[in-house]
Chain A
Amino acid sequence: MKSLTAVSCGILLWAACHFPAPSPPPDPAAELVERGRQIFFNETFAGNGRTCGTCHPAENNFTIDPVFIASLPKNDPLFVAEFSPPLKANFENPRLMREFGLILENLDGFGDLANRFTMRGVPHTLGLRISVVSSNGPRTGWSGDGAPGDGSLRSFATGAVIQHFTKTLDRIPGVDFRLPTAEELDALEAFQLSLGRQNELTLPLQLKGTVAKRGQDLFLSPTVGKCFRCHGNAGANVPNPIGGRSGNLNFNTGVEDLPDLPQDLTGELAPPDDGFGTPGDGTFNTPSLVEAADTGPFFHNNAIETIEGAVAFFNGAAFNSSPSGQAVGGIILDGTQVVEIAAFLRVINTLENIRQSIDLLEPVAQKTASTVDQIRRSIGQAAQETQDGIRVLSGGGLHPQAVRHLEEALKQIQRAEHGILFRGQQALEAIKQLEKARAELLETS
């Protein structure tokens, strides 16, 4: 009898901890986002097996890089060109994909598949709400003209399905794939807009670290770093109108003129990328920098692996002789300044990792998450974000005390991930450690 009571109590306790509180009333906006999430990660559009999540996986900041690619099984649909005979030639370049994370795009037409294409990295889909709008209309993809139809983020998926999801190079709608419906496009747009930051930072931040603080000063300096002139508040928008244009703009920064582009060194055919338009004008879209440090490699062609290297690019001849380099009067930084600006970018990236982790854990701690699946997903993603923060700070030798708090937070998150009974408490403990880490980076009032 005694043991039966104990078992009953155990079951009740387990149920109380395992199942979330009663669901709140349906929220149409949240339901649309959830529908978009399902489509993004599960819908193949009757194509070659790829989904949007194939190239934009949640577990890798919605982008892919060579390290992530190396972790995938041979039969992952990303590698469809390696095992599907109709896509063997002229659909992808497996070597450039595996070595540099590059994807083949026929941006200037499908008329000469063997010779007319570009090789581009996969941009993450974080913070799109604040990085797509410009005075010239929406800017999507690396050159700003990534979406067919009206060029909007909503239309982007249609072009992506045609380019990347097809079963054969005939690309016959209804045979090689089906195109997203209007309802699916609405849901996909809502999901993508929900990812990452919803607001711009307001610089300067009250940073604590000496190196990152100096990096911020240089970033905002109109005579030294000049970075803010295209990356207002370290985002993707110009802070002041340029020639009547504002928002997310395109620039030719000379990346294509780098002397030793990795893809060219392989001897594989990798035609020059002419950027925006057909034929292109050599310009590319400005990416946000807040999310940069954990989403490399950098630039449209994954030319540079490290954030320090990406900052140093603006010091070189390719940038300084480009139209944008000329327009800002050139940039000259010494070695310490390059590292300082990179340290600033590492710190703001980590602050964003912390913000996201806390946002993800709060519903778990407060037991307001609506489904068990949502709880698991939130905890898993919070673990990824926290790991990114550790990696980003450690990679720059920055803020060891903050790293210790992040490591402690990660332990709690992993306990919550694998346990059931004390999940809420563990999420709460993780949040406390994340807040301590943030307090190491930022003065708090």
Chain B
Amino acid sequence: MPTTLRHSPGARVGLSIAVATGLYGISFGALSVSSGLDIWQTSALSLLLFSGGSQFAFIGVIAGGGSGAAAAGAAALLGIRNAVYGMQLNALLHPRGWRRFAAAQVTIDESLATSTGQTVLVEQKRGFWVAGLGIFVLWNVFTLIGALAGDAVGDPKQWGLDGAAVAAFLGLLWPRLRSKEAGAIAAVCALATVLTVPLVSPGVPILVAAVVAGAIGWFGFRHGPAGEGLEPDVDPYPGPPDAPGSTDAQAPR
């Protein structure tokens, strides 16, 4: 017997992660306009691209003087993990008809993490939809607020917005550096970036690092206990692993 929506643990966690994540849309909005995009372009990215990492990647390349093609390439490559999340969610929730398209659009780190942290199907569904749709609405509202604020600010450098972008990228990367191997991969890709910056056009070093990372992922693959697998960058269920609601539920396979 499912609990009512009011007392649903999935919906509750989904809502809290939606508020936390939605709020930082404000930083995307502000950084996007300071990178040179206008308010409409900024909002289009949040509405249509809707994947924090990829959106930051796009404006990060543009801000560095990179071409639109390099920006789109970096954003697209960073979105590949969402296909893997989509496979997991499809096996878990089996959305049908138009819901499948809606589910695809709100398939992001946070909705996956909220959903897979629940143990019963109805809560997995509620967690996914509440987190996904909640973040979609709030992320877009706060993107617009951030874009308007960023537009009102004069010189973005004076306000340290280029430093804010650096901090944002590190903040997105940080939760993924959970293992020594992840740290080693990051070190190699950092080196590849530094070495190629003087040699190729802005934006391209990021794609070079992507090729290096892809090769490490493909050729360094080994079967066995969890290698550098793919976990979403958020854990909506902090606390001791034996606390209620924090069980690491696996999708039925």
A binds B: no
* Chain B interfacial positions (CB closer than 8 Å to A): none
